[in-house]
Structure 1
């Protein structure tokens, strides 16, 4: 047996040499081919590694060598769980154990840090206040354009949310602000304190300052761009001079924004600005100080709450019936508090089937590594500036419902390239591509519909309205984009806001929401609401979900619990009123009857009392005990439809009497129809009881609004 090892070793090396040469040649030849020609066996040899290690591919393609140590993993850094007897364990998706997968998902080459300003550069203050990211996008674009404009300009990007106690404008020469309006006329949630600080004139004299404002809003709401307009007025009142006229932007009208940006950059370039050194300003990096500031739970740092209960509230008798779900969450020791009227921000995940379909149409791999978006909330195991698998990014970070218009432009450009390639190869399609057959609009080829959508902004909106990202990409077939191109045209997956339907007096560390399931048809395909169906179909008790409290100081109970309240909330508009009623009843209970609540009148509506009467037993119980006065409107329970506004008109004398006693009037729910109908009924009953008629009714209601006695929490 003494000579056996030498014999085995010699045979081994002969075998290795024979096998190694063809394998080496295979790897070399395959490395020269395009990435999209690779096969499953390529994935065996292409386990994702950080760029720079042996076998990794940089964005531009081609193999890039690196230290051999990176190829032979350091066993002290992670444990290799691959089984030599199990081929599947060597595949890309199964390369490492759980710990290794987490490391792979977040590992990425360190980005070079941008050099700070030099003392001779000239600072320009750029502030943004945002709810859904559009104002930030505009501010970042402005910063890029200012840096590219020359003149040694150095934009200083500031989030209004970071300056709740105000901003020091004493050394600022020019300030450019982009700010959205949230809901029906209020500042973005996290920028509210800054805005109110400026509105109150606490910035002092700003006579030395020149400024420009980009106001963002939605014309569907009464107070279009109100916050931006107020910022503009506050700066003017403080003595600042306009550098450029304010622009009021409806939704995401980029042509208007771009024209404003061009004007602002030109105006700033024409200013005789002082440098950092001339202003006596430090050019040191302030990011460390910002990072050291204590962080609170909020939109960018949500708390992962545990699901305690998921309860269906509707009786479902057919496939077309939709459920409404009560979800209760444990806030643990987070210290998060809320008041009745606040909303819960909940980050959803996209439906797995929708992500799989999108990946298939993109022709992309689920495991492809992509950068973690800068906007992604803080999450354990996800490193800022790192990377994550494409499927994870599409699931948690990106809105795969409504793409940016830039996606259409990129696809049309790709189509033009594809057409040119076909023509050069003698395969051009000779048919009239893009004209309806016999005038039939439905016969217009998908590619032509895509091209026609770029005619103007209205055409873009009309094309995108019924389509999801996957539909747009399918229309462009066979043209394809890279994953990075597609991602650059997707919006941030936004948190959903749901009115809190519990009282903190029930259990301070628990919170409840009431969410209606959303399902609909579009282009003949069944679609679902991203967050609502996550609750109704995919979440389980015990799961952890990222949440935060969205403060709503414009929707509050009266300070005096003895004041009457009138509440109109059909469907899930009932949610905050359940909170209101519970709060008052529990306060009275805790005071042993010393704080008797004022009269509470609730108008609730739904389809049928036996189908979607939310919390019906509880409401009926409170009404029977005399704790509330309840009016219900079941729209489909009789031949003639009845709505909450009808019940309001029927009880007009009661409503008027309570208003005259100082009652607060609340409306919660759909703004497109219900809220307007309720206000019309309210104005009519007021006008009928005043000698001044309609004009007097308008003035009366305006006074109620100005004094906080008419409050609405409505949405489109």
Structure 2
């Protein structure tokens, strides 16, 4: 027979025992839980922040920074893809090499924008800013964009010059640089030169920058009294071998990003390719890949319908070997190298690393070579013949355009062609020069073509593998192979010779790619009952596949869905009507809630585009947009989006009898309330 507890001592002992037993049972649940990110301690860091690592906190006051560095020029850059950033650094280096002027190249997001008010009139201010989407500023321009349009600052001491990057296929071509200049002028700043503008739609971004830069330097001489000197190459980086480094110390090709570059995105992870198929099964010369990735190994990563998936490609093996061979450094491919900044700027390339990792994973060695780069290469030419060739081909814009039109020239191929008559190596070409002219490798972003409700752990993308063409200045076309899509195609056909599919240190073994999820505002309305109109051409159908999948799932579980119309344009019914059978099946589920209208541009000798189908359907579209307040979505090329925009605006304006101003107000209200969304590219 058990004894009953008696007295406070017995009760205290029982209580203590119960607490201890309960605590033990809750181990791993309420306490001592395993850290899901414990593995991160054993990984190489993905986030590089030099300022944090050395304990030095950089000032966010640009006027203070200029006083500390004693620079005569500050070049602010706002860039989404890296082009404006590259131009800013090139301009800064050339200001010093040609005029001995010290320039601070500044990321707009590194400084508090209200401090530009204190920049003295002795400092020349240059803005190089890009416009993307429908008149949107780059992410790092957001601070300037909001401050300059709302601040009550006095900028009477500011002297500035501005250059914008844009694409005339978009409705608001170079809007950002225009707004920045108008706002600066309104606050009393002095604009020294007309605004320079680059137009990517004409393939003229590089040449437009060169023309503007030469006009700027002419202004330096004529109006500001600066003396021009003979140009001497001044590297911004020091690249030196260090054989004392061990393999474990090196960045071997894994993507590395600064913390602010990861904003709005997941971590970069080696994601398994779960499925991959070619949607153009009847077309021999074109491929359209449907790629499904598996998030199962990384529970911390998720996505939402309408988000983007970013793929980190690698360069083709042949191009890597070509550059190493031309430099005479094939035997040094795996020698560890350290990269250090010589001008105080941040080193954008992971270091320490190796030459092979630099050329395979960290630099865009397949990018077209600018005319200016070709001219600069001439000074390092190993023979007189190669020097004369480079000087001749880069002499003027039309000559170089004709040269590019004949072949897609990478740096490796240019070095090879220039010495073809007298084979030799470019052993005197500094590695630092290549790091200055090669863009840093960046991911390629794709609209996710699946629904997170239907496939929560397997996001998919849809990508056409094609030889992209851009117009040259003499009416021809320059062919440029797509880097990421050909990299994905190599995975599909298992071309291990063409690309390093195993990745750095075999991290991508088992058919994986480095990828990350990037958040997007391109979303379905919160209410499933809201009517939506979707307009797409080609792979622009990708996010709408996810939208329709999600609505079909809602329909299956008994949730009422609003009306949907999909206008889809492609070449022909047989050639590239992607997801045709799947869309038919979804239409059977959604019945009369989904209407699909097609436009074929190469079918039975006729050319019909989506905007024409919309015009034919004007009564229904007008009713849905005006009376029904439907959401409008456009995804595809900027040129297509512009035509669709114009067609719908003209149609609504005629129905309502509005003025141009009233039509503009309606459009802007639609966009501000997220009732009109676009996901377009150049």
TM over 0.5: yes
- How many aligned residue pairs are there? 540
Matched, 1:464 2:404: yes
Q: Could you say which residue in structure 2 is the equivalent of 1:481?
A: 426
Query: In structure 2, do the counterparts of structure 1 residues 652 and 370 end up closer, same or farther at CA, with 3 Å as the change threshold?
Result: farther
Give distance in 1, aligned partners of 2:82 and 2:478: 29
Query: In structure 2, do the counterparts of structure 1 residues 334 and 462 end up closer, same or farther at CA, with 3 Å as the change threshold?
Result: farther
Q: Could you say which residue in structure 2 is the equivalent of 1:574?
A: 541
Q: Which is worse superposed, 165-174 or 532-541? A: 165-174
TM-superposed CA distance for 1:120, in Å, is: 7.4
TM-superposed CA distance for 1:658, in Å, is: 1.1
Matched, 1:455 2:398: no
Instruction: Map residues 44-55 of structure 1 onto 2, 5 A cutoff.
Output: none
RCO comparison, higher one (Cα < 8 Å, 6+): 2
CA RMSD in angstroms comes to 4.7
Q: Could you say which residue in structure 2 is the equivalent of 1:16?
A: none
Matched, 1:136 2:78: no
TM-superposed CA distance for 1:491, in Å, is: 3.0
Instruction: Map residues 563-642 of structure 1 onto 2, 5 A cutoff.
Output: 563-584=530-551, 593=559, 596-625=560-589, 626=591, 627-636=593-602, 638-642=604-608
TM-superposed CA distance for 1:531, in Å, is: 0.7
Secondary structure, counterpart of 2:514 in structure 1? strand
Give distance in 2, aligned partners of 1:468 and 1:530: 14
Q: Could you say which residue in structure 1 is the equivalent of 2:462?
A: 514
Does the 8 A contact of 1:355 with 1:391 survive in 2?
A: no
Given candidates 270, 291, 305, the residue that maps to 1:326 is 291
Instruction: Map residues 651-690 of structure 1 onto 2, 5 A cutoff.
Output: 651-660=617-626, 661-672=628-639, 674-679=640-645, 681-682=647-648, 685-686=651-652, 689=655
Give distance in 2, aligned partners of 1:412 and 1:300: 41
Instruction: Map residues 236-247 of structure 1 onto 2, 5 A cutoff.
Output: 236-237=185-186, 239-242=187-190, 244-245=192-193, 247=195
Q: Which is worse superposed, 246-255 or 366-375? A: 366-375
Query: In structure 2, do the counterparts of structure 1 residues 207 and 167 end up closer, same or farther at CA, with 3 Å as the change threshold?
Result: closer
Q: Could you say which residue in structure 2 is the equivalent of 1:536?
A: 489
Q: Could you state the TM-score of these two structures normalised by the residue count of structure 1?
A: 0.63
Give distance in 2, aligned partners of 1:507 and 1:614: 19
TM-superposed CA distance for 1:577, in Å, is: 1.6
Give distance in 2, aligned partners of 1:118 and 1:704: 42
TM-superposed CA distance for 1:226, in Å, is: 1.6
Secondary structure, counterpart of 2:137 in structure 1? coil
Given candidates 498, 514, 525, the residue that maps to 1:546 is 514
TM-superposed CA distance for 1:408, in Å, is: 2.0
Q: Could you say which residue in structure 1 is the equivalent of 2:666?
A: 703
TM-superposed CA distance for 1:573, in Å, is: 0.5
Q: Could you say which residue in structure 2 is the equivalent of 1:403?
A: 369
TM-superposed CA distance for 1:388, in Å, is: 1.2
- Deviation per residue, 1:188-242 (Å, 9 max, x gap): 2x315324432552x55244652525332134334332212222333344x3523
Secondary structure, counterpart of 1:131 in structure 2? coil
TM-superposed CA distance for 1:393, in Å, is: 1.7
Does the 8 A contact of 1:198 with 1:234 survive in 2?
A: no
Q: Could you state the TM-score of these two structures normalised by the residue count of structure 2?
A: 0.66
Query: In structure 2, do the counterparts of structure 1 residues 299 and 145 end up closer, same or farther at CA, with 3 Å as the change threshold?
Result: farther
Give distance in 1, aligned partners of 2:620 and 2:570: 22
Q: Could you say which residue in structure 1 is the equivalent of 2:444?
A: 496
TM-superposed CA distance for 1:303, in Å, is: 0.9
Does the 8 A contact of 1:561 with 1:598 survive in 2?
A: yes
**Structure 2 alignment gaps of length 5 or more:** 1-43, 45-53, 59-64, 199-204, 227-255, 342-347, 471-475, 492-500, 502-507
TM-superposed CA distance for 1:706, in Å, is: 5.0
Give distance in 2, aligned partners of 1:246 and 1:139: 18
Give distance in 2, aligned partners of 1:267 and 1:172: 21
Secondary structure, counterpart of 1:569 in structure 2? strand
Given candidates 105, 108, 131, the residue that maps to 1:181 is 131
Give distance in 2, aligned partners of 1:551 and 1:118: 35
Largest Rg, 1 or 2: 1
Give distance in 1, aligned partners of 2:458 and 2:325: 41
